[in-house]
Amino acid sequence: MRNLKVTMAFRGTRYHGFQRQPNALTVQEVVEEALSKLLNEPVAIQGCSRTDTGVHAKEFCFSMQTEKPIPPRNFIRGSCGYLPEDISILSVEDMPPEFHARFSCQAKQYMYRIHNSESKNPFTTDLELHYRRKLDVELMREAAQHFVGTHDFAALCTNCTEKQTTIRTIYDITIEKEGDTVILLVKGNGFLYNMVRILVGTLLSVNEGRIPVSELEALLESRDRTRAGITAQAHGLSLYRVFY
């Protein structure tokens, strides 16, 4: 039995996230059905992460098993005939039996894109958050550094349970401006539900003067979701890189 590591990219606009749901179209459902047709056998995939409705992925890994000896090139080319235009297989690798896309993952990096202009960009309406207020990038960079390191991120989590550990480590946050686009990259060892989107919403609140930078440490220590910013819209978010 072969154990494969498959890397794909997808535009999440028309999907209710990655993971299968009984009454909604998801990326997992579409990919499993496509690969089952390609390999002529039932295929179940294990994703590296869950994604919310409307979230995209530039690099998303999943593991799967198959008896078929299909070469990686044929796997990639063949999958194109069964997958829709908003999902693409990028690479296929044979891995040891113990490899698992989720549990073998060491770190992930998310990207959040903001179109910062009075006018909306008709070419990126489902890929970037349209934000009209002027962004103080230097202020946002200063604020972002308060989240770097190992912290209890309960204040940046939606629907966290008492039994769930909310301690995570963020290795790096970078914020760059390219024309009218502001790009945030957040790399960490793991992320809570909505954590990156709430982090972005909190930085926007800092930009608007609603949350002073001086209060960010106390915000984290409070573990109080109501003290953080809004949950930024999903369509600006992409899973950017996965590290093994």
Side chain identity at 137, as an amino acid letter? Answer: V
Side chain identity at 142, as an amino acid letter? Answer: E
Residue 239 DSSP code = E
The catalytic site residues sit at: 52
DSSP states along 49-80: ----TT-EEEEEEEEEEES----HHHHHHHHH
Yes or no: say if 51 and 30 are a contact pair by the CB < 8 Å rule. Answer: no
**162 SS3 class:** coil
**9 SS3 class:** strand
User: CA 184, CA 204: separation in Å to the nearest integer?
Assistant: 12
Please, which residues bridge with residue 3 across strands? 65, 95
The answer for 54, left when phi > 0, alpha when psi is -120 to 50, beta otherwise, is: left
